[in-house]
């Protein structure tokens, strides 16, 4: 094990996860295109996935439980795929009504 | 041991529902037709309900005695049992109300999707494991997106769907992120464990050294935020009015009930179960959420002219009331706060669904009843619908002796008990909460009365046709009757709510330890299960 | 039939009647209103039997006609029960409710011309709610009935009211609800305080009252907080002076039957609540708040009277006179002695009878002339002699003419107040109390002024009628109107001549309450000023003296 890796702990991964999460939030907040927003969501989910993997890794923690930390992201990835499918249908519907996928055009309902 | 055969044996009803839902999807494309498939859906709910009732008699006996079984990702207890039956009933009612929803060609997709959603709800009822809970919640969310998408084909509907979709996804992501932190802190994904080898999140937290709770706190707050979206708690409520307004009355009814049931159950399972009894940081967050949610929801509802917007804000406010129960439960686990919340949730769900069912009965896909003013003179044109609507609205306002009052009685009882226990600061904070709660009930009464006043005191402006069909009519009647039954015989509901309160169970010394069911006895058709319950460690 | 069954059926008859009327909605108007009248008469007859069976000395021990069902199941920790029973305090208000409902049905006989089934159903629901309030022995049942009365009255005002009815209905409902929800919190606090200190969760009012004697709510600041919560609901209902603003609006907009019942019964729920809960359960707080409550009462007396003087609308005038009269009730009750308590309770009944009848009479005038403006009417005694005669009787009763019912009530109230200010053990604020007593007496003069002035302007002097009314013939009292007023007039004379009949039956219950508050007052004064041997003046004796004065 080279020295550099030995210094890397769970906390480093947590920072990566947090950065991904915050990036995702920022992406959702700033992107106007529906597909861009969807990408932001992927970032959010993957931020959480990094956490799961890091916590579950035997390499990083001696007392880690093992495989389940790596299995959970698989579930999440499958779910994200399912959601992307629904998202496409919704975006298409939005496009049919608004002739754009710019979510800023969703401004009729307020009060 | 994520999956073993006994676990599958325990979730057979959900499996059946998903299979039938898939069959409805496929069959609907081959043989379109509304009535046939609706009847199939109704009979599925009924048959599953009855068969469950017949098969689980022994199980009922055990859980009613306060036993808890942990089986893989499932927790089998009274709360789970009762709420599963409730979810089936909810499915039956929603399918009934939605029996004319959408275009003829898409009718089967609506009933199939609702069935998927009900399966998800039933899974949430017994979730005892983070991933299981998350997947079950998604099994509710994804069908909801589809239903919103199927609802209407206009600009407003498209907008509502997009808003709900994205915001709900953020909520899910926050929930997941919080779960990942919990997983890291607790070294596991099981919430309450029956065995000594696997501590479970609850057990791990109890052993957590003091001062190591910061990571856990982050996770806890994230989870509360994520679930706050589901129950539309302020400040995560802002999608609700827009989405309700933009969709159909039927979908709005679904949104007012299903995510709220799921969110509350998940909060009970996850948030309350993992918080150590002596945690001083738990209740202030809930206190703030409850205050904000009920006040903001009620005040905003005051000047709404759109019925669905009004009901959206009112559903926000009701979420705030339910959070009073959580606050009480976090301050004093034995004060029965969770039971009160469950009772309130039941009453709210029935009355809220009744209101939307009545609105659905007055609408069809060509014209949805939107404005409060459209109800003018309803008491003359449709006296029974107006009566049912007024009944449900009075119940939501919590006027005795209607069922809503019993919910409020239970909630405020919990708060008053904590106040009287006289624990200095906490007691006065809860007094403020209780007084704010009752003052909010007054604000709520003001806008419910406005709707009732329009129905009864003004002359009809336009003739309201009632094209919603028999299903919506039956749904309205069923909800109203159930509210009536709860109003007149509240005793059983009170006892069930108390028995379902997991914190009260933990407080009872005799059954403090979790019980583990032996794998082979997980589901038995005959005999007495009690003999095969085995006391676990911990 | 045992008394318990009788009591339960008295409450259930109007409920069943309301259901019946909804079912009869297809039938014609005359069937509907006859059914409604029949139901109220049956209820009234049953009530009469109850009153006749009530022990003449008023000693009922644990309650009269007590009937209890476990509502929430026997073994539940929530032993909220359907428990009813009467005592000296509830009996007369209970009886008055069933009598005034007959009046309310009769005054609506011709004035209600649409949706009659719903109208009478709502009236009967209202009656059932009020009967429930006065008979309830379970705190939750009391609260349920207390708030349930809002629903029928909301519809009565909103559907059959005058121009501003929607606003009035909502304001009435929301205003009253705001107070009563705080009351609800206080009631819960009382229940759980007792549960904490006796280890037994009970919702029974007598048990709670008894437990609070041995375990009073401590510390006093808590008792004051609970008192304030109860005050919020009851004072709005009464209505006490600064909280009365909903009342004139609701009265003016309500249909006649609604006004009759609102003034006659619903306001009394507030005073009833004060005696039943504030005084009996929180005596220390009551003793502390006594001066404040007396000030509010006397402010209401004077304010109501002065504003009534300035009114142009007859109904508004009577509404403000209610504020003034209820001030007397509160004054008597919060004198916290035997005389005042009995006078206040008797005054509740008197006010119910005479103001109910006055609202009925004004409704009858309105049916004939379609106006309630005083300026548009005059000299009606010549046109409507019988109506004028009844008007005079109830006016005189309302201003407390000796021989009619207003006199013993008002007299006892003032006597009680004077006894509190000068006669009883000196309390800290006796200087204030002197002022209050004098102001209260001056209210009597004002009361006579505005009522007699009203009668003089409307019924005497040159004949003045709105022009539109000339088109159709104006007739004097019809049979149903006579039937509505005659029993009330008889009662006015009966109470005036023989108040002891009523006072005897309420005395023991009220004495129980007085004893508790007296003790707290004494504790508060910090010294035992009254020697244990010295008895309080005997009310019956006072009444006898008063009777002899009258004869002379």
Is the previous residue joined to C239 through a cis bond, with omega within 30 degrees of 0? yes
> Is residue C153's pLDDT more than 90?
yes
Q: In angstroms, what separates the C-alpha of B116 from chain A's closest C-alpha?
A: 14
Spatial CA neighbour of B358 closest among B234, B473, B212: B473
Mean pLDDT is lowest, of B16-30, B191-205, B435-449, for B191-205
Per-residue pLDDT reduced to its tens digit, B144-183: 999 998 887 788 888 889 889 999 999 999 999 999 988 8
Residue from the list B417, B442, B453 with its beta carbon closest to the beta carbon of C158: B453
Assess whether pLDDT exceeds 80 at residue B506: no
Residue C24 has pLDDT above 80, yes or no: no
pLDDT digits (tens, 9 = 90+) for B253-284: 999 999 999 999 999 988 877 777 666 777 88
Between positions 440 and 469 of B, the ones with CB within 8 A of C are 441-442, 445-446, 449-450, 453, 456-458
Residues spanned by the domain of B467: 280-507
Q: Taking residues B15-43, what's their average pLDDT?
A: 89
For residue C193, give the nearest of B394, B420, B435 by CB distance: B420
pLDDT at C528: 41
CB contacts < 8 A (A, B): 134
- Which residue is closest to B302 within chain A, CA to CA? A111
B453/C177 CB distance under 8 A: no
B449/C193 touch (CB, cutoff 8 Å), yes or no? no
Over residues B18-42, mean pLDDT: 88
Average predicted confidence (pLDDT) for chain B: 85
Of B401, B449, B457, the CB nearest to C159: B457
Q: Which of B422, B442, B454, B489 to mutate to test the interface with C (most CBs of C within 10 A)?
A: B442
Q: How far does the CA of residue B483 sit from the closest CA of chain C (Å)?
A: 16
Mean of pLDDT values over C405-429:
83
Pick from B255, B269, B238, B314: which is nearest to B175 by CA? B269
Long-range contacts of A106-109 (CB under 8 A, 24+ apart): A106/B158, A106/B159, A106/B162, A106/B163, A107/B159, A108/B155, A108/B156, A108/B159, A108/B246, A109/B156, A109/B159, A109/B160, A109/B163, A109/B241, A109/B242, A109/B243, A109/B245, A109/B246
Residue C531: its pLDDT value, please? 43
The mean pLDDT value for B331-338 works out to 85
Q: CA of B447: which chain C residue's CA is closest?
A: C170
pLDDT band for C425, please (50, 70, 90 cuts). low
Q: Indicate the range of A80-89, B507-516, C62-71, C417-426 predicted with least confidence.
A: B507-516
Lowest model confidence (mean pLDDT) among B44-58, B392-406, C20-34, C406-420: C20-34
pLDDT of residue C352: 93
pLDDT of residue B450: 92
pLDDT digits (tens, 9 = 90+) for C333-373: 998 889 999 999 999 999 999 999 999 999 999 988 888 88
Beta carbons of A94 and B142 less than 8 Å apart: no
CA distance B200 to chain A (A): 12
B and A make contact (3+ CB pairs below 8 Å):
yes
Look at residue C120 and tell me if it is in a domain. yes
pLDDT at C549 over 60: no
Interface test with C, best of B393, B427, B445 (most C CBs within 10 A): B445
Rounded to a whole number of angstroms, the distance from the CA of B474 to the nearest CA of chain C is 20
In chain B, what residues touch C143 (CB-CB under 8 Å)?
400
- Provide the mean pLDDT of chain A: 83
Query: Closest residue of A to B143, CA-based?
Result: A86
* Contact call for residues B372 and B451 (beta carbons, < 8 A): yes
Task: Single out the residue in C259, C281, C303 at which a domain terminates.
Answer: C281
Best residue in B142, B154, B162 to probe A by mutation, most A CBs within 10 Å?
A: B162
B412 to chain C, any CB pair closer than 8 A? The answer is: yes
Query: Residue B525: which pLDDT band, with cuts at 50, 70 and 90?
Result: very low
Same domain, C227 and C297: no
Neighboring chains of B (3 or more beta-carbon pairs < 8 A): A, C
Question: Among the ranges A26-35, A60-69, B195-204, C462-471, which has the highest mean pLDDT value?
Answer: A26-35
- Residues on chain A touching B130 (C-beta within 8 angstroms): 72
pLDDT tens digits along B425-480: 788 888 999 999 999 999 999 999 999 999 999 888 777 777 778 889 999 999 99
Calculate mean pLDDT across residues C272-294. Answer: 91
Q: Which of C117, C150, C154, C228 to mutate against chain B (most B CBs within 10 Å)?
A: C154
| pLDDT tens-digit series, residues C238-249 | 889 889 889 999
Find out whether the peptide bond into C500 is cis, omega within 30 degrees of 0: no
C405 is a domain residue: yes
Q: Is residue C215 part of a domain?
A: yes
Which of C281, C309, C330 is the last residue in one of the domains? C281
Q: Does C173 touch chain B (CB under 8 A)?
A: yes
Q: So what's the pLDDT on residue B504? A: 74
**Other beta carbons within 10 Å of B205:** 20
Burial class (CB in 10 A: 0-12, 13-18, 19+), C369: middle
Q: Are residues C265 and C401 in the same domain?
A: no
More confident residue, B72 or C285: C285
Report pLDDT for C534.
44
* Last residue within a domain, chosen from C250, C281, C312: C281
Distance CA B362, CA B388 (A): 13
Whole-number pLDDT of residue B365: 75
- DSSP 3-state assignment of C251? helix
DSSP H/E element including B403 = helix B403-421
Interface test with C, best of B401, B432, B440 (most C CBs within 10 A): B401
d(CA B414, CA B335): 5
Looking at the 3D structure of chain C, how many domains does it have?
Answer: 2
Verify that C171 and C319 share a domain, yes or no. no
Least confident range from A38-52, B235-249, B523-537, C131-145: namely B523-537
- The contacts of residue C311 (CB under 8 Å, 6+ apart) are C317, C320, C374
Given a cut of 50, whether residue B511 has pLDDT beyond it is no
Report the residue from C72, C144, C189 with minimal CB separation from B416. Answer: C189
Where is average pLDDT lowest: A31-35, A77-81, B101-105? Answer: B101-105
Statement: residue B290 has pLDDT above 90: yes
The per-residue pLDDT for C256 is 92
Straight-line distance from the first to the last Cα atom of chain A, in angstroms, rounded to the nearest whole number: 60
Burial of C85 (0-12, 13-18, 19+ CB in 10 A): buried
Selected residue of C176, C185, C198, C203 to mutate for chain B interface (largest B Cβ count, 10 A): C185
Domain ranges, ordered by start, for chain A: 9-103
Residue B283 · residue B345 · CB < 8 Å:
no
Q: Does position B514 have pLDDT exceeding 80, yes or no?
A: no
Say if the Cβ atoms of C170 and B449 lie within 8 Å.
yes
Cα-trace Rg, chain A: 18
The verdict on a CB contact (< 8 Å) between A28 and B246 is no
Say how far apart CA A65 and CA A55 lie, in whole Å: 9
In a domain? residue B294: yes
Same domain, C180 and C37: yes
Instruction: Bin C140: left if φ > 0, else alpha if -120 < ψ < 50, else beta.
Output: alpha
B-chain CB neighbours of C150 within 8 Å are: 399
Indicate the residue of B157, B170, B243 with minimum beta-carbon distance to A28.
Answer: B170
- Is B532 a residue whose pLDDT tops 50? no
Assess whether C207 and C308 both reside in one domain: no
- CATH of A9-103, picked from 1.10.287.3510, 1.10.760.10, 2.40.50.140, 3.40.720.10, is 1.10.287.3510
Q: The tokens of A82 are what?
A: 């399912």
Query: Which of A10, A14, A52, A104 is the mutation pick for testing B, counting most B CBs within 10 A?
Result: A52
State phi, psi for C404 to the nearest 5 degrees: -110, 170
Distance from CA of B514 to the nearest CA of C (A): 25
Nearest CA distance, C182 vs chain B (angstrom): 7
For residue C192, list chain B residues with Cβ-Cβ distance below 8 A. Answer: 413, 416-417, 420
Structural domain span for residue C371: 284-524+541-552
Which comes out higher in pLDDT, residue C429 or C16? Answer: C16
What angle, 0 to 180 degrees and rounded to 10, lies between the N-to-C axes of helices B155-186 and A10-30?
A: 170
Choose the weakest-confidence range: B45-54, B390-399, B498-507, C217-226.
B498-507
Closest chain C residue to the Cα of B443, Cα to Cα: C174
Mean pLDDT value across residues B337-354: 94
Judge if C111 and C203 occupy the same domain. Answer: yes
Residue B520 is predicted with a pLDDT of 32
Neighbouring C-beta atoms of residue B534, cutoff 10 Å: 12
C165 vs B: CB within 8 A: yes
Rounded to the nearest integer, the mean pLDDT of chain C is 87
C114 and C30 in a common domain: yes
Query: Structure tokens of C539?
Result: 């009310």
**CA C246 to CA C355: how far, in whole Å?**
18
Distance from B283 to chain C by nearest Cα, in Å? 21
Nearest to C174 among B409, B416, B442 (CB): B442
Q: Report the pLDDT value the prediction gives residue C526, as an integer from 0 to 100.
A: 66
- Which of A45, A51, A106 lies at the smallest CB-CB distance from B162? A106
The whole-number pLDDT of residue C270 equals: 93
Counting as contact any 3 or more CB pairs under 8 A, the partners of C are B
| Residues B498, C77: C-beta atoms closer than 8 Å | yes
Answer whether C touches B (≥3 Cβ pairs < 8 Å): yes
Residue B151 lies in a domain: no
Q: Are B310 and B447 in contact (CB under 8 A)?
A: yes
Mean pLDDT of B203-218: 77
Contact C192 B420 (CB under 8 A): yes
Region B211-238: what's the mean pLDDT? 87
Closest partner CB to B495 (pick from C73, C182, C184): C73
pLDDT given at position B534? 34
* Residue B75 host element (H or E): strand B74-76
Position B103 in a domain: no
Task: Tell me the nearest-neighbour CA distance from C411 into chain B, angstroms.
Answer: 39
pLDDT at position B368 is 82
What pLDDT is stored for residue B522 in this prediction? 37
> How many structural domains is chain B composed of?
1
3-state secondary structure of C200: coil
Residue C70 is inside which H or E element, if any? strand C64-70
Specify the pLDDT at position A62.
66
Q: Which residue has the higher pLDDT, B189 or C46?
A: C46
């Amino acid at each position: 094990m080279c020295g550099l890796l030995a210094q890397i702990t769970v906390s480093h991964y947590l920072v990566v996860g947090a950065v991904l999460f915050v990036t995702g939030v920022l992406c959702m907040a700033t992107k106007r295109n529906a597909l861009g927003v969807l990408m932001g969501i992927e970032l959010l989910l993957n931020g959480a996935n990094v956490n799961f993997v890091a916590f579950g890794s035997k390499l990083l923690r001696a007392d880690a439980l093992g495989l389940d930390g790596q299995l959970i992201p698989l579930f999440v990835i499958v779910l994200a795929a399912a959601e992307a499918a629904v998202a496409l249908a919704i975006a298409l519907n939005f496009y049919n009504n608004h002739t754009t996928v710019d979510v800023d055009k969703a401004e009729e309902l307020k009060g | 041991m994520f999956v073993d055969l006994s676990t599958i044996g325990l979730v057979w009803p959900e499996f059946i529902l998903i299979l039938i839902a898939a069959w409805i999807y496929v069959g609907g494309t081959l043989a379109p037709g509304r009535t046939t498939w609706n009847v199939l859906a109704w009979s599925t709910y009924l048959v599953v309900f009855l068969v469950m009732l017949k098969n689980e008699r022994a199980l009922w006996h055990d859980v009613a005695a306060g036993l808890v079984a942990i089986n893989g990702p499932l927790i089998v207890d009274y709360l789970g049992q009762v709420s599963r039956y409730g979810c089936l009933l909810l499915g039956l009612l929603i399918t009934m109300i939605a029996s004319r929803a959408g275009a003829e060609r898409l009718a089967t997709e609506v009933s199939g999707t609702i069935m998927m959603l009900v399966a998800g709800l039933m899974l949430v009822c017994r979730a005892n494991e983070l991933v299981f809970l998350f997947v079950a919640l998604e099994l509710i969310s994804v069908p909801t997106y589809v239903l919103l998408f199927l609802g209407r084909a206009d600009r407003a509907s498209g907008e509502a769907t997009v808003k709900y979709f994205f915001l709900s996804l953020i909520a899910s992501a926050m929930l997941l992120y919080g779960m990942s932190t919990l997983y890291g802190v607790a070294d596991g994904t099981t919430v309450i464990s029956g065995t000594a080898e696997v501590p479970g999140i609850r057990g791990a937290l109890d052993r957590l050294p003091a001062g190591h709770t910061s990571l856990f706190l982050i996770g806890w707050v994230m989870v509360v935020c994520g679930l706050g979206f589901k129950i539309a708690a302020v400040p995560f409520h802002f999608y609700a009015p827009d989405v309700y307004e933009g969709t159909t009355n039927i979908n709005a009814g679904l949104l007012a009930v299903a995510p709220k049931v799921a969110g509350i159950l998940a909060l009970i399972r996850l948030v309350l179960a993992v918080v150590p009894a002596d945690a001083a940081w738990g209740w202030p967050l809930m206190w703030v959420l409850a205050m904000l949610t009920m006040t903001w929801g009620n005040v905003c509802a005051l000047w709404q002219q759109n019925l669905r917007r009004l009901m959206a804000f009112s559903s926000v406010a009701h979420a705030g009331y339910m959070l009073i129960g959580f606050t009480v439960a976090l301050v004093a686990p034995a004060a029965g706060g969770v039971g009160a919340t469950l009772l309130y949730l039941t009453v709210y769900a029935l009355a809220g669904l009744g209101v939307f069912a009545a609105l659905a009965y007055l609408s069809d896909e060509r014209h949805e009843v939107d404005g409060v003013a459209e109800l003018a003179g309803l008491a003359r044109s449709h006296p029974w619908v107006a009566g049912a609507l007024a009944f449900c609205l009075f119940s939501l306002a919590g006027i005795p002796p209607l069922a809503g009052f019993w919910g409020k009685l239970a909630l405020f009882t919990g708060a008053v008990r904590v106040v009287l226990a006289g624990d200095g600061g906490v007691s006065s904070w809860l007094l403020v909460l209780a007084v704010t709660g009752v003052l909010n009930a007054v604000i709520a009464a003001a806008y419910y009365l406005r709707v009732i006043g329009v129905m009864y005191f003004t002359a009809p402006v336009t003739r309201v046709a009632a094209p919603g069909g028999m299903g919506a009519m039956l749904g309205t009647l069923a909800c109203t009757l159930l509210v009536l039954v709860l109003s007149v015989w509240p005793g059983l509901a009170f006892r069930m709510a108390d028995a379902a309160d997991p914190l009260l169970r933990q407080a009872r010394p005799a059954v403090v330890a979790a019980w583990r069911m032996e794998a082979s006895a997980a589901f038995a058709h005959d005999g007495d299960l009690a003999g095969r319950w085995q006391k676990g460690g911990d | 039939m045992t008394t318990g069954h009788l009591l339960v059926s008295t409450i259930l008859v109007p409920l069943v009647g309301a259901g019946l009327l909804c079912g009869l909605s297809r039938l014609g108007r005359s069937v509907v209103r006859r059914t409604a009248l029949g139901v109220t008469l049956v209820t009234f007859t049953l009530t009469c039997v109850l009153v006749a069976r009530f022990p003449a000395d008023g000693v009922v021990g644990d309650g009269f006609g007590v009937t209890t069902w476990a509502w929430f199941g026997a073994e539940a920790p929530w032993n909220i029960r359907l428990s009813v029973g009467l005592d000296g305090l509830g009996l007369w208000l209970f009886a008055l409710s069933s009598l005034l409902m007959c009046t309310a049905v009769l005054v609506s006989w011709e004035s209600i011309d649409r949706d009659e089934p719903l109208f009478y159903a709502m009236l009967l629901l209202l009656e059932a709610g009020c009967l429930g309030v006065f008979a309830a022995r379970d705190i939750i049942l009391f609260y349920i009935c207390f708030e349930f009365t809002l629903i029928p009255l909301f519809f009565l005002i909103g559907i059959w009211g005058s121009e501003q009815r929607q606003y009035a209905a909502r304001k009435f409902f929301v205003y009253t609800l705001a107070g009563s929800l705080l009351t609800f919190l206080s009631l819960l606090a009382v229940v759980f305080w007792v549960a904490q200190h006796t280890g037994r969760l009970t919702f029974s009012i007598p048990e709670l009252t008894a437990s609070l004697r041995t375990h009073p709510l401590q510390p006093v600041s808590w008792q004051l907080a609970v008192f304030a919560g109860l005050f919020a609901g009851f004072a709005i209902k009464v209505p006490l002076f600064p909280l009365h603003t909903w009342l004139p609006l609701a009265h003016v907009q309500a249909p006649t039957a609604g006004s009759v019942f609102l003034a006659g019964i619903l306001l009394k729920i507030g005073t009833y609540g004060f005696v039943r809960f504030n005084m009996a359960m929180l005596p220390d707080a009551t003793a502390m708040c006594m001066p404040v409550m007396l000030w509010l009462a006397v402010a209401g007396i004077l304010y109501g009277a002065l504003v009534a003087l300035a009114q142009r609308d007859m109904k508004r005038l009577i509404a403000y006179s209610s504020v003034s009269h209820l001030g007397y009730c509160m004054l008597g009750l919060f004198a916290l002695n035997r005389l005042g308590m009995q006078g206040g309770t008797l005054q509740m009944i008197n006010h119910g009878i005479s103001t109910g009848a006055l609202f009925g009479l004004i409704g009858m005038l309105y049916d004939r002339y379609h106006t309630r403006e005083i300026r548009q009417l005059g000299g009606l005694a010549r046109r409507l002699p019988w109506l004028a005669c009844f008007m005079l009787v109830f006016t005189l009763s309302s201003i407390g003419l000796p021989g009619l019912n207003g006199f013993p009530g008002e007299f006892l109230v003032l006597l009680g107040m004077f006894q509190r200010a000068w006669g009883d053990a000196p309390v800290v604020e006796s200087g204030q109390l002197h002022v209050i007593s004098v102001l209260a007496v001056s209210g009597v003069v004002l009361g006579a002024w505005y009522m007699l002035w009203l009668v003089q302007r409307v019924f005497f002097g040159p004949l003045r009628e709105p022009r539109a009314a000339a088109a159709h013939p104006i007739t004097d009292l019809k049979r149903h109107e006579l039937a509505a007023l005659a029993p009330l007039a008889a009662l006015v004379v009966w109470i005036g001549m023989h108040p002891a009949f009523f006072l005897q039956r309420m005395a023991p219950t009220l004495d129980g309450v007085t004893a508790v508050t007296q003790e707290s007052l004494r504790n508060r004064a910090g010294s035992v000023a009254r020697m244990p041997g010295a008895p309080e003046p005997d009310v019956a004796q006072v009444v006898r003296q008063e009777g002899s004065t009258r004869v002379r």
